[in-house]
Structures are given as structure tokens and as C-alpha cells.
Amino acid sequence: MRSITKQWTALLIAAIITAPLATTTAFAKSLERSTITITGNSTVMATPDSAQITSEVVTEAEDAQQALQQNSAKMQKIMELLKQQGIEPKNVQTSSFRIYPVYQERDYNNRNSDNNQPPRIVGYNVQNGLEITLNKVEALGPLLDKLVKSGSNRISNIRFLVSNQDALLNKARGAAALDAKKKAQLYANALNMKLGNAITITEGGYSAPRQPRGEMVMLKAAMNSAPPIAAGEEQLTTSVTIKFELLTQ
């Protein structure tokens, strides 16, 4: 009799210990969810409505002070031109200023020349650059013509800008999210499952309009007319990764 009682007691204790473990396992399985992670993409085209350029004056003379005076006179003329064109001071900023010596080139083909001597300074070069922002792309061509005629002999870094970039990117983000949902729904249908709610959303980043930086061009003579300028269209691209819950139908 005592042996039977001990056996029942042991079974009861085992059942008490095992029950919570079985309940925990079942609860954990109930928390497991089938999910699918999809990346959506979107591209929005935008027409640039403003532009930036770098206009430089480069002068060279035997004396540093002389080179600086020549450069300053030409730059002052350009500053007056920009004011006459109605360009606000906040849209004009000095981008670079350099003064450096110019050395005599060595003649390595002449056997009689002493190329072991230190290089000799034969002049000084002064460079002064302005970054100019235009609120209208169509004003760029005529301005380039006027800049060259006023003394600018180096034009570089022509860039086209989109002022309402944030609004366009937000539009692209919404379209990217819809693209991700559309793809996820396609996979859910193929698996004979139902697409559930979004669990996590991660932005994959975006690419702003390209900023082409043209090679610096030395202009030795004034242009005869305004050069043609084509702004084209800029491309804004964004992506988003979304994890969706998959439900059985």
C-alpha cells in the first residue's frame, strides 16, 4: 500500500513540475509569427529651379602687390555687376583666395643649364573665387557672358538645384512604402497567406539630385554671346525596408 502511495506521489510531483514547462513552451510557440521583409523603391523626377556657379579671377604679375591690385580691380567690377543684376548679397560668397609664387620652369633638355639650383621665382599668381547662387536657371547663360566680359577668366562647379527637395523626397518615401507593400502582398498571395500589419519600418536612405562639378575652364577672351544652358531633370531616389506579419487564411 505504501509503495502504491509513493508511486502516485511521484507521478503527481512530476506532473506539477512538467505542467508549467509545457505551458511555457506552448505560450512561446504562440508568440512566434511568420514574417516577410521587403524593400520598396521609388524615384521622383524634378526640374531644377536654381543654379550655383563658381566665378574666379586669376591674375599674374612679376610683383605680388601688382598681381593683387589687378585682381582686386577686376573682382570689384564683378561685384558691382552682380549687384546690378539684382543678386542678393547672401547669394554671393567668397569660395577661395590664393596668392602663390610662380617658378621658372626647368629646361631639362638643355645640358648646359644647371637644374640643381633652387627654382627661381619669376612672378606671383592671385586667384579669387566667388560662389554665386541664382534663383532662376534661365539667368545663368546671360550672367556667364557678363561675368567673362567683366574680368572673370575661370568658371567652374556649375550645379543645378531643386528648392522643394524635401517635399519631393517625402512623396518618394510614400511611394516606396506602397511599393514594398505591393511586393509583400504578391508573395503572401503566392504562399496562400494573408498579409498582416507592418512590424518594423527602416528607411534605406535616399539620393539627392546629382551635383555635377564641371572642370575649371580658363576663359582668355570674352564670349560673343550668352552660352546655351540646359538644366534637364534631376532624379531623387529613396528606399524603405518593411517587415510584415504573415497570417494564415
Most confident of 149-163, 172-186, 224-238: 172-186
Q: Is residue 214 part of a domain?
A: yes
Q: How far apart, in whole angstroms, are the C-alpha atoms of residue 130 and residue 40?
A: 41
Please give the average per-residue pLDDT across 72-93, as a whole number. Answer: 96
Same domain, 183 and 146: no
Question: pLDDT tens across 37-82, in order?
Answer: 999 999 999 888 899 999 999 999 999 999 999 999 999 999 999 9
C-alpha cell, 91: 547669394
pLDDT of the residue at 24: 46
Residue that finishes a domain, picked among 133, 161, 189: 161
Same domain, 95 and 155: yes
Query: Which CATH number is 87's domain given?
Result: 3.30.70.2970
pLDDT of the residue at 206: 76
Residue that finishes a domain, picked among 107, 136, 161: 161
C-alpha cell, 71: 585682381
Query: Which CATH number is 183's domain given?
Result: 3.30.110.170
pLDDT of the residue at 10: 53
Stronger pLDDT, 31 or 190, i.e. the higher one: 190
Same domain, 74 and 123: yes
pLDDT at 91 over 70: yes
CA R_g for the chain: 36
Same domain, 98 and 77: yes
Q: Is residue 10 part of a domain?
A: no
Q: Which element (helix H / strand E) includes 237?
A: strand 234-248
| Number of domain units in the chain | 2
How far out from the chain centre does Cα 229 lie?
Answer: 22
pTM of the model: 0.64
Same domain, 107 and 119: yes
Question: pLDDT tens across 102-138, in order?
Answer: 998 765 565 655 556 677 889 999 999 999 999 999 8
pLDDT band at residue 228 using 50, 70 and 90 as cut-offs: confident
Q: How far apart, in whole angstroms, are the C-alpha atoms of residue 180 and residue 240?
A: 7
DSSP conformation class of 139: G
Residue that finishes a domain, picked among 161, 191, 225: 161
pLDDT of the residue at 114: 58
Question: pLDDT tens across 165-218, in order?
Answer: 889 999 999 999 999 999 999 999 999 999 999 999 999 877 765 544 444 444
Amino acid in the structure at residue 210: R
pLDDT of the residue at 20: 53
Q: Which range of residues forms the domain containing residue 205?
A: 29-48+163-249
Same domain, 94 and 170: no
